[in-house]
Structure 1
Amino acid sequence: MTLNATIAEVTERIETRSADMRGTYLDRMRRAADEGPRRAHLTCGNQAHAYAAMGEDKDALATGRAPNIGIVSAYNDMLSAHQPFERYPDIIRAAARAQGGTAQVAGGVPAMCDGVTQGQVGMELSLFSRDVIALAAGVALSHNVFDSALYLGVCDKIVPGLVIGAATFGYIPGIFLPAGPMPSGLPNDEKAKVRQQFAAGEVGRDRLMEAEMASYHSPGTCTFYGTANSNQMLMEFMGLHLPGASFVNPGTPLREALTVAGTERALEITNLGNDYRPVCDILDAKAFVNGIVGLMATGGSTNLVMHLPAMARAAGIALELEDFDDISSVTPLMAKVYPNGLADVNHFHAAGGLQYMMGELLSAGLLHEDVKTVAGDGLSLYTREPQIRDGRVVYTDGPKETQNDRILRPATDPFQATGGLKQLYGNLGHGMMKTSAVAPERHVIEAPARVFHDQAAVKTAFKAGEFTSDTVIVVRFQGPRSNGMPELHGLTPTLAVLQDRGLKVALVTDGRMSGASGKVPSAIHVCPEAADGGPLARVRDGDIVRVDAVAGTIECLAPDFDKREPVTADLSGNGHGVGREIFEVFRANVGLASKGAGVVV
């Protein structure tokens, strides 16, 4: 199938825009690769330190002739998605040893859970944790003893941070190994209903706790389609997973076999063999375009609109938000997974999942097939489905038909003709909206504004019964410079209650919503942020604000709006407590949300 003209045009635009930066990056990677295996440049003393604890693998490491894998792990057992990684190093070491190679845990990276910190002060460190993870991955790989790397991470900031680290060490081949989603528990729509009932005072905390525990109930990724599962989709679309690896449940024979297969493949693609596949060759403009197509076709997380530019910049590629908008305009929304549907990712996977979707998008000319991946050349490899035979992974042809067209539909008959994210521009700045879960009749909201400086004040006003008419709720001073740009997902039940009461409501903020942003129209990531004197700092209570996801605009209609002086806020309380003190350098140096809100790239 001929490549779609818009996809081709956007790719060419990215390549042209990035030519100098990408050229410099690749030149550095080539020079590093030309130096040969890393261990060849270490002294005997250097190496003795690196191998001292390696027991039966010492001799293989000391000779330097067998490939050595560095494991960068985000394991902790507070994140259900990361708890399965506890056993991965043992599996990987044994699999490497069986193939004549070795593997070492190079280092750990922090991994915080946005579900735990949601609505809490700790959430103000969440976005910045991505850059800390990238830095920690750099420290792990700086020992210079690895021929390839395996990256163990799943959740919100962890995968983007690991990709930034992997791109920085792009001369080293790398494969991402996921843990998979937990089995389905309490349906997500039932959980959301209980949350709304609690917000409205209709049920007590005991009922809320019961529902939450029935939803988040075992090891594995949360089953809704938020940032964590969007990350897994992205790694597959960009060729950094093995085909079909994303949504296999933890603790199953196939999950373990895929971990073994990933280890074996990591040994095969080093600079010591004949199929050298460094990360720098995989992370090119085409891979990022494929990733954006996947984001739009699945109705994925809004957080990735920030993470992808930061990830791309680490690989010498400049993404702009116009690239997302143009790709969205030609990419069909093919999936309905909670919050933009009732199904969870297990249902999506059973309906045909990524293998069916990628086959459809390739046939429609919406993906670049001619890419390098960790599995081999060509994205069509990712239409195959992994199975186990005699304890090993084998691949068969993936599904050619959807198994449930209420969850997954063909590219020729999608749920909607365009992707699930929309860029918004106007005199309030630049923002974005996840439209895939928002009913079409709510894509345009025009109403008086109520202005708040934190989400707690919104909840207080709600409990006081102050929202009795159509309202655009403006929550400002929530950007990365203000307080680290925490997710405001805790507002979702409150706003959903107002909407269910028949009011027209919208949220406008320079903060973030969850990757599981739901049915309330929300203009998020608005920048320049209020703390930089951005337009949101000029909005007043009662101003008529129009949020229009059809026209792609976000406007304050007050006649004197442009002449007003921006207000300021006392942000001194954001600088201390729960570790915020040590992140002042991040808040002071962070980039615009539209550029990825990066500190290290």
Structure 2
Amino acid sequence: MSTSSRPERPQPHPVLTEVTQRIIERSARTRAAYLDRVRAQAADGPARAGLACSNLAHGFAACSGPDRLALRGVSKPGIAIVSSYNDLLSAHQPLHEYPEWIKQSVREAGGVAQFAGGVPAMCDGITQGRAGMELSLFSREVIAMSTGVALSHEMFDGALLLGVCDKIVPGLLIGALSFGHLPTILVPAGPMASGLPNSEKSRVRQLFAEGKATREDLLAAESASYHSPGTCTFYGTANSNQLVVEVMGLHLPGASFVQPGTPLRRALTEEAGRRVVALNRAGAEYTPIAEVVDERAVVNGVVALLATGGSTNLTMHLVAVASAAGIELTWDDFSDLSSVVPLLATVYPNGSADINHFHAAGGVQFLIGELLDGGLLHPDVRTVAGPGLDRYRREPVLDEGRLVWRDGPRRSLDESVLRGLDNPFASDGGLRMLSGSLGRAVIKVSAVRPEHRVVQAPARVFTSQQQFTDAFRAGELDRDVVVVVRNQGPRANGMPELHGLTPALGVLMDRGHRVALVTDGRMSGASGKIPAAIQLTPEAAAGGPLAKVRDGDVIRLDANQGSIDVLVEPAELAARELTDFPPDEVSWTGTGRELFAALRRAVGPADRGASVFGPLAPSHFTDPVDLTV
């Protein structure tokens, strides 16, 4: 196991400095306007002190005992609890107990906490390949609005956001940033214990796609993998969220991957309540979320994502979160940082280990230490734990029942999972931007073998996952092929994840064929061994070039050079009529989809966060498509 001797405070990497500076300059106007707005919302004393008596009485009518007296007397800080609890989803079921723990710890710290509101939390695992998946990305905007509703009562001097998975954490953050004057801490639930190895689960899925395993075999494998309360253990969007927000200073140090149902998990949850009271405006450590989420913290979040081969969904979520704070983050920023940030972790689907193995090997604390020592993170940031990211080198432990932090590991405890900068798994972050005659796309290559990163083959075009599945089962794809699945972007159908394609595509690759996927939809954190150009923009439903591709057109995807092209003469491509354009509107009904029509019409492109909020959201397209239902 390797260790490194480096200066205590190294010079920041020049690319880190360059990217951060251009973000600051690009965002100067919108960031200043945002900070002016949120600072104007801050009150000198408890927020509720400015309420009329009738308003205030409504705010504590349901309270009793000391909490009622504290709220009535407007003498103590009020803390909002906003939670994504439900007992359908394993990741959010542990949150059931948190509010009572938090209320007690806030009370002990001299404040009063109220459950301000709940936000929806849907599971992409349950809705995968179903109509409900088409609401998944839009649920982020609903969560943001629900957070705004919860905090709108002006009763609060701080907030605790309880949430874990895919769209939930970004939605909570976007909503909270509209109340940027409030100190805010995110409170996670932690991952479930390790079950069936993810690689074995993937193997059974592929056998099922080939007809070599039964439904009972598949269900047994899936239930052995997803088996208890807590977050899924592979390194998808949920666990990428947790790692990224911790490195951004929005969790307590070491909070991300402590399992639910443990004394340490409860201690961290209770400490979050005490800590947010200490950060309120009346105290000496006032730390509003608007000043935690600044340009340097956003860059730190991108670096952490790249260094661990995290979810491609974060290329949209981080853009949207940054925009909510008045910061303009672009895919070019991701790309330039990826070129100098080495891959230090291999967690499934990038390797065989799960997130618990990563945590045991040294986890977030070792990762932060390595990146800080290598000049690849900004150390001088504000965090919910106090000034400076060095605090996040330390890990939480219980010492005779008392929560304390100790120095984290200075070397990896398992170099098959986590390594230092002197021995990375790859020299870059494994996340690359593609551009060419088909537009711009994201590709995650950390799980793609080098020999599979360049594919040139005839296209086979589909407009749904079911069409692809039917063609695969009919043996029509048993050849070199670039599978195109279009009309899967945010304006077309809400941009569902397309994981249902992965097992069949894996079968084709294992048969020796050159295979790639090109889509304006998503694949997210579970993107695996298939080279996949995803989140292609402009999307087909907005008149992008993908709408003009035909069966048999040769497409070249080159992840090494960063290009994605259809090898058709430009004049011929320009002369073609748009195909399957616009998508059939009548079909976008049922399973609640018609309720989201307004969001679908207003949403921006993937490279702007696929968002309807923030200063970057309006006027996304030169010729907007009328998608009125």
Please give the alpha-carbon distance, in whole angstroms, between the structure 2 residues aligned to 1:165 and 1:572.
Answer: 30
* Match of residue 306, structure 1, among 308, 313, 316: 316
The answer to whether the Cα contact below 8 Å between 2:412 and 2:419 also exists between their aligned partners in 1 is yes
TM-aligned CA deviation for residue 600 of structure 1: 2.6
Q: Which residue in 1 is equivalent to 2:405?
A: 395
Q: Which residue in 2 is equivalent to 1:520?
A: 530
Percentage of matched positions with identical amino acids: 59
TM-score by length of 1: 0.99
Please give the alpha-carbon distance, in whole angstroms, between the structure 2 residues aligned to 1:122 and 1:302.
Answer: 21
TM-aligned CA deviation for residue 34 of structure 1: 4.6
Please give the alpha-carbon distance, in whole angstroms, between the structure 1 residues aligned to 2:322 and 2:234.
Answer: 26
Matched residue type, 1:2: Q
TM-aligned CA deviation for residue 564 of structure 1: 2.0
Q: Which residue in 2 is equivalent to 1:42?
A: 51
Please give the alpha-carbon distance, in whole angstroms, between the structure 2 residues aligned to 1:434 and 1:537.
Answer: 23
Alignment of 1:308-323 (within 5 A): 308-323=318-333
Alignment of 1:544-559 (within 5 A): 544-559=554-569
Matched, 1:108 2:109: no
The answer to whether the Cα contact below 8 Å between 2:46 and 2:78 also exists between their aligned partners in 1 is no
Please give the alpha-carbon distance, in whole angstroms, between the structure 2 residues aligned to 1:256 and 1:531.
Answer: 47
Please give the alpha-carbon distance, in whole angstroms, between the structure 2 residues aligned to 1:448 and 1:43.
Answer: 69
SS in 2 for 1:76: coil
Matched, 1:566 2:575: no
Q: Which residue in 2 is equivalent to 1:221?
A: 231
Deviations 1:219-268 (CA, angstroms, capped at 9, x unpaired): 00000000000000011010000000000000000000000111110110
Matched residue type, 1:193: R
Please give the alpha-carbon distance, in whole angstroms, between the structure 2 residues aligned to 1:257 and 1:319.
Answer: 35
Please give the alpha-carbon distance, in whole angstroms, between the structure 1 residues aligned to 2:472 and 2:312.
Answer: 26
The answer to whether the Cα contact below 8 Å between 1:356 and 1:398 also exists between their aligned partners in 2 is yes
Matched, 1:128 2:138: yes
Matched, 1:11 2:20: yes
* Match of residue 32, structure 1, among 34, 38, 41: 41
Alignment of 1:246-285 (within 5 A): 246-285=256-295
Deviations 1:509-538 (CA, angstroms, capped at 9, x unpaired): 000113211110000000111011100011
Alignment of 1:383-462 (within 5 A): 383-462=393-472
SS in 2 for 1:477: coil
Please give the alpha-carbon distance, in whole angstroms, between the structure 1 residues aligned to 2:248 and 2:37.
Answer: 22
**In terms of mean alpha carbon deviation, does 583-592 or 561-570 score higher?**
561-570
Q: Which residue in 2 is equivalent to 1:158?
A: 168
Matched, 1:500 2:510: yes
Please give the alpha-carbon distance, in whole angstroms, between the structure 2 residues aligned to 1:568 and 1:591.
Answer: 20
Matched residue type, 2:303: V
TM-aligned CA deviation for residue 562 of structure 1: 3.4
Please give the alpha-carbon distance, in whole angstroms, between the structure 2 residues aligned to 1:563 and 1:426.
Answer: 18
The answer to whether the Cα contact below 8 Å between 2:108 and 2:274 also exists between their aligned partners in 1 is no
Matched residue type, 2:325: A
Q: Which residue in 1 is equivalent to 2:196?
A: 186
Matched residue type, 2:591: V
The answer to whether the Cα contact below 8 Å between 1:482 and 1:574 also exists between their aligned partners in 2 is no
Q: Which residue in 2 is equivalent to 1:580?
A: 593
SS in 1 for 2:524: coil
Deviations 1:523-555 (CA, angstroms, capped at 9, x unpaired): 000011101110001111111100011000000
Please give the alpha-carbon distance, in whole angstroms, between the structure 2 residues aligned to 1:299 and 1:359.
Answer: 18
* Match of residue 208, structure 1, among 215, 218, 229: 218
**In terms of mean alpha carbon deviation, does 562-571 or 576-585 score higher?**
562-571
Q: Which residue in 2 is equivalent to 1:593?
A: 606
Please give the alpha-carbon distance, in whole angstroms, between the structure 1 residues aligned to 2:585 and 2:62.
Answer: 47
Deviations 1:70-105 (CA, angstroms, capped at 9, x unpaired): 000000011101000000001001111222221100
SS in 2 for 1:272: coil
* Match of residue 154, structure 2, among 127, 140, 144: 144
The answer to whether the Cα contact below 8 Å between 1:574 and 1:580 also exists between their aligned partners in 2 is no
* Match of residue 387, structure 2, among 377, 382, 406: 377
Please give the alpha-carbon distance, in whole angstroms, between the structure 2 residues aligned to 1:182 and 1:49.
Answer: 40
Runs of 4+ that moved beyond 3 A: none
The answer to whether the Cα contact below 8 Å between 1:179 and 1:250 also exists between their aligned partners in 2 is yes
Give RMSD over aligned pairs: 0.9
The answer to whether the Cα contact below 8 Å between 2:182 and 2:280 also exists between their aligned partners in 1 is yes
TM-aligned CA deviation for residue 573 of structure 1: 3.7
Unpaired segments ≥5 residues, structure 2: 1-9, 615-629
SS in 2 for 1:575: coil
Please give the alpha-carbon distance, in whole angstroms, between the structure 1 residues aligned to 2:97 and 2:39.
Answer: 35
The answer to whether the Cα contact below 8 Å between 2:110 and 2:277 also exists between their aligned partners in 1 is no
Deviations 1:460-482 (CA, angstroms, capped at 9, x unpaired): 00000111210000000111111
Shift in CA distance, 261/387, structure 1 to aligned 2, threshold 3 Å: same
Unpaired segments ≥5 residues, structure 1: none
Please give the alpha-carbon distance, in whole angstroms, between the structure 2 residues aligned to 1:576 and 1:599.
Answer: 21
The answer to whether the Cα contact below 8 Å between 1:483 and 1:574 also exists between their aligned partners in 2 is no
SS in 2 for 1:541: coil
Please give the alpha-carbon distance, in whole angstroms, between the structure 2 residues aligned to 1:349 and 1:573.
Answer: 47
Matched residue type, 1:585: A
Q: Which residue in 2 is equivalent to 1:487?
A: 497
SS in 2 for 1:518: coil
Please give the alpha-carbon distance, in whole angstroms, between the structure 2 residues aligned to 1:278 and 1:513.
Answer: 34
Matched residue type, 1:379: L
SS in 2 for 1:520: coil
Q: Which residue in 2 is equivalent to 1:360?
A: 370
TM-aligned CA deviation for residue 36 of structure 1: 4.0
Deviations 1:474-505 (CA, angstroms, capped at 9, x unpaired): 00011111100000011111101111111110
Please give the alpha-carbon distance, in whole angstroms, between the structure 1 residues aligned to 2:520 and 2:584.
Answer: 15
TM-aligned CA deviation for residue 37 of structure 1: 2.6
